[in-house]
Amino acid sequence: MSIVIVGGGVIGCSIAYNLAKLGTKDVTIVEKDIPNHGTSTRSASRFRVHFWTEENVRFATESRRIFLNLASATKWNPIISIGGYLWLLPNEKHLKAFEKANQMWARLGVAGTFFSPEETREQYPYLNTDGFVQAFFGPQDGSLHHDYVTYGYYMASKAMGVRCVEHAEATKITLEDGKVTGVETDQGPVKGEKVILAAGAWTADLARTVGIELPMEPVKKEILITEPFRFFLEPFIVDNGTSGYFGQTLRGEILGGIDVPVEKGLRPLNTSILCAKEWAKTVTRVVPAMKYARAFRGWSGYFDPTSDGSHILGSDPEWPRGLHVAAGFGGHGFLMAPLTGEVMARYVAFEEIPELMEPFLPTRFKEGRLVNETLVVG
Partner 1 sequence: MIDRRRKVSKVEICGEKVSFYFDGKRVDGHEGEPMAAALYADGISFLSRSVRYYRPRGIFDLHPSCRSSLVNFNGAPGVNPSEATCREGVKVTGETGGVPLMVKLFSSMLNASFQHTRLVRSKLIWSAVRHLVKNNANNPAPVFQSTDEVLASASPTTTLDMDVLVIGAGIAGLEAACEASRNRLKVVVIDDQPRAGGELRFDALTPLGLQDEGQVIVRNLLKRIESYRVQLLLRTAVIGFYEDGLMAYRSDEPLGGKLCKLNAKAIVIATGKVDIPSIFVNNDLPGIISSSMALRLLNEYEISPGERGIIIGATDQGYRVASQLRRHGINLKIVDRKVRAHTEYRNLVNDVDLILGIESVRARGKHSVEGIFLTRDGKVSELPADFVVSSSLQSADIRLPAQANVEIAYFDGLGHAPVHNAFMETNVTNVFVAGGVTGSPFEALHLLEGRIAGLTAVLSLGSKDAEAQREQNVKEYKRKLQEMGVRQTKDEMFRAFDGGARKERTVSESPSWYSDNLDGMQFVCFCEDVLVKDLAHVIRKVGFQNLEMIKRCTSICMGHCQGRLCLVNAALTASIIANSDPNVVGLTRQRPPTRPVPLRVLAAM
Binding-site ranges for partner 1 (CB under 8 A): 34-37, 41, 68-69, 71-72, 75-77, 79-81, 126, 145, 147-148, 151, 155, 226-232, 250-252, 268, 270-274, 276-277, 279-281, 283-284, 289-299
Q: How far is the CB of 351 from partner 1 (least distance, A)?
A: 34
What DSSP character marks residue 242? T
Query: Nearer to partner 1 by C-beta: 88 or 224?
Result: 224
Residue 326 Cα to chain centre, angstroms: 12
Q: How far is the CB of 373 from partner 1 (least distance, A)?
A: 28
Query: Nearer to partner 1 by C-beta: 271 or 363?
Result: 271
Q: How far is the CB of 66 from partner 1 (least distance, A)?
A: 13
- The type of residue at 230 is R
Q: How far is the CB of 186 from partner 1 (least distance, A)?
A: 18
Query: Nearer to partner 1 by C-beta: 7 or 328?
Result: 7
Which residues are within 8 A (CB) of 173 and not within 5 positions of it... i.e. 6 or more apart? 180, 182, 183, 184, 195, 197, 206, 207, 209, 210, 320, 323
Query: Nearer to partner 1 by C-beta: 75 or 107?
Result: 75
Query: Nearer to partner 1 by C-beta: 251 or 321?
Result: 251
The whole-angstrom separation of Cα 371 and Cα 373 is: 6
Q: How far is the CB of 100 from partner 1 (least distance, A)?
A: 33
Q: Are strands 26-30 and 163-165 parallel, antiparallel or unpaired?
A: parallel
> CB burial class (10 A; 0-12, 13-18, 19+) of residue 327?
buried
The whole-angstrom separation of Cα 148 and Cα 77 is: 7
Query: Nearer to partner 1 by C-beta: 40 or 53?
Result: 40
3-state SS, residue 365: helix
Q: How far is the CB of 293 from partner 1 (least distance, A)?
A: 5
Query: Nearer to partner 1 by C-beta: 223 or 375?
Result: 223
Return contacts of 282-286, CB within 8 angstroms, 24+ apart: 282/239, 282/242, 282/244, 282/246, 282/258, 283/244, 283/246, 283/254, 283/256, 285/128, 285/131, 286/88, 286/127, 286/128, 286/131, 286/237, 286/239, 286/244, 286/246
Q: How far is the CB of 299 from partner 1 (least distance, A)?
A: 6
The whole-angstrom separation of Cα 88 and Cα 131 is: 8
The four Cα atoms 280, 284, 287, 288 give a dihedral, to 10 degrees, of 160
